[in-house]
Structure 1
Amino acid sequence: MSDEDEAKQVRSIFISDLHLGTRGAQADLVLEFLRAYDAPQIYLVGDIIDGWRLKNGWYFPQAHNDVVQKLLRKVRKGSRLIYITGNHDDFLRDFTGSEFGGIRIADHALHDTADGKRLLVIHGDLFDLVVRNAKWLALLGDWAYTVALASNTVVNKVRRLLHLPHWSLSAWAKQKVKNAVNYIGEFETCLAAEARRHGADGVVCGHIHHAAHRKIDGLTYINTGDWVESCTAVVEHHDGRFEVIRWPQYRLKSEPVRPIPQPVLVSEAA
């Protein structure tokens, strides 16, 4: 019996920011998740392969290749795969609108949910002023981010031995630093406004490595998170219900599954 036969069947899978090609990528955990869940529609919401890092030196171990092969296997089995480009895999933007072996490349997509809603699916980097207007600063930030991830590696090796979930220094800092919190809030508001501009009921995005599911001024805001810090993805169930999957918490028997809170109403005036 194949992994797909044993996997939990959902209507759609949304996953972003794998950053394959970097040492911070949690490829083994990505592969576990892809073995555990299957869907006829899979959205890769940007920054799947980290072209920025690969330009500076090739690093693509077998585990990273296994993730790519697993996704291709799902396509061969009949899944429809939509690859939404991000800033770290912007080399694919030259192929926007193309389709290769059942994989469609796009800069955004509109997803119709099981309960009749329409969601804009977009990576979100085009609404990051640093990425748009000062790429050198974004690259500097990327270097600092890599250092933070490297400093966290030893800690998480010990935590895994103790069957504890992954812990992220950079994610913790985002929650504590006021400017980072403000940036996240502004990003979320901009993405919700973009969904409204497209006539959609909400948005599914990535980019900021901060998983979320909430309401913003009547629109649904969903961020898929990432697989270098929090190891999160989003699934749509067959009834149209969306759920953030925090994979280490689901996988580790010693860590109870924590219920995902209901969407919280957020106002731009807040």
Structure 2
Amino acid sequence: MNGPLSDTGGGTSIRRLPPRRRAVFISDTHLGSRHCHAAELADFLASLRCDRLYLVGDIVDLWWMAQRRAVWRAHQQRVVEALHQLARDGTAIIYVPGNHDRPARRFCGLALPRMQVRRRAIHRLLDGRRLLVTHGDDYDAITHFGGLKEKLGDWLYYRILTGNQWFNHARRRLGLRYWSLAEHLKKRSEAAERFIQRFVDAGLDDARRRGLDGIICGHIHRPGLLQRDGLIYANDGDWVESLTALCETADGRLQLLAHDGQLLSELPALPVACAPGLPKVA
């Protein structure tokens, strides 16, 4: 974790604050659903120090809450309290609703207390590059083919998530760290990999058409951080399978992080001489 640490060597207690980041991006927390890892999310949020926090959609799972019994216990409430604390500490929170919290889109363009709601946002990196921030469900018409096979896939996916919870419950009892069974199974599916590739292509095409330098999104529950043809594709993952977040560090690096702070992937900032919109070095 990135929370405060104590060093009692030499009889002196020293508190080290977690690193302050320019921005943090999380999505697909699916609060209210049975598959949300709310305890890990609450711990992660409590450890944060950042200038901006982007909530990139599907934060509250209104679909689940409308169709099934909502799950809202102490850990879910801790998530809400951690968000309030970040806002009180001066973090600007930008909420970009997704398809599972679509009703919140009626508030797009408003500056609510301690939060801005946007249909999409543009995040400007320290090096000047501009990235589209969007949930990603706009690309469903391109990436989804519909039909019985897709419905069967949705049903199977929720069964896998349930199995993932039981599997990791057993791992915790054995003292083992979290490992995503669901992610492992998806990576072994050629159909899933083709779907993810279509999604990446659609997101990069959208950023290119808008004259931007890349995209930050969620939606597909597959974290990723890569560069292709000069564009950035960053997917912050989710909190039902991968338990990941994306951040921009104080010196402009993009990092994909696990819930416990482990660095999974990183893209460096551009040198000042190459950064768009910034003074060039002779």
How many residues in Structure 1 have an aligned counterpart in Structure 2?
A: 254
1:18 corresponds to? 29
CA distance in 2, matches of 1:78, 1:135: 47
Cα RMSD, aligned residues only: 2.4
* Structure-to-structure mapping, 1:98-113, within 5 angstroms: 98-113=110-125
Matched, 1:192 2:197: no
Moved more, 148-157 or 223-232: 148-157
- Structure 2 residue corresponding to 1:212, chosen from 224, 242, 248: 224
Structure 1 stretches of at least 4 aligned residues deviating more than 3 Å after TM superposition:
3-7, 130-144
1:33 corresponds to? 44
- Map Cα deviations across residues 12-70 of structure 1 (whole Å, 9 max, x no partner): 00011101001111111111111222201000011110010000233211211210121
| Larger CA Rg, structure 1 vs 2 | 2
Shift of 1:141: 4.7
- Structure 1 residue corresponding to 2:56, chosen from 45, 48, 72: 45
More helix as a share of residues: 1
* Structure-to-structure mapping, 1:21-170, within 5 angstroms: 21-56=32-67, 57-129=69-141, 141-170=153-182
Shift of 1:76: 1.9
Shift of 1:6: 3.4
CA distance in 2, matches of 1:124, 1:89: 13
CA distance in 2, matches of 1:88, 1:50: 5
Distance 1:33 1:210, change over 3 A: same
Matched, 1:241 2:253: yes
In the alignment, structure 2 segments of 5+ residues that lack a partner are: 5-15, 269-282
Shift of 1:171: 1.2
Q: TM (normalized to structure 1)?
A: 0.86
Q: Check the 8 A contact 1:125/1:131 in 2, yes or no.
A: no
State, as a whole percentage, how many aligned pairs show the same letter.
Answer: 37
Distance 1:93 1:261, change over 3 A: closer
CA distance in 1, matches of 2:240, 2:93: 22
Moved more, 91-100 or 18-27: 91-100
Q: TM (normalized to structure 2)?
A: 0.82
Q: What is the one-letter code of the residue matched to 2:31?
A: L
CA distance in 1, matches of 2:151, 2:108: 24
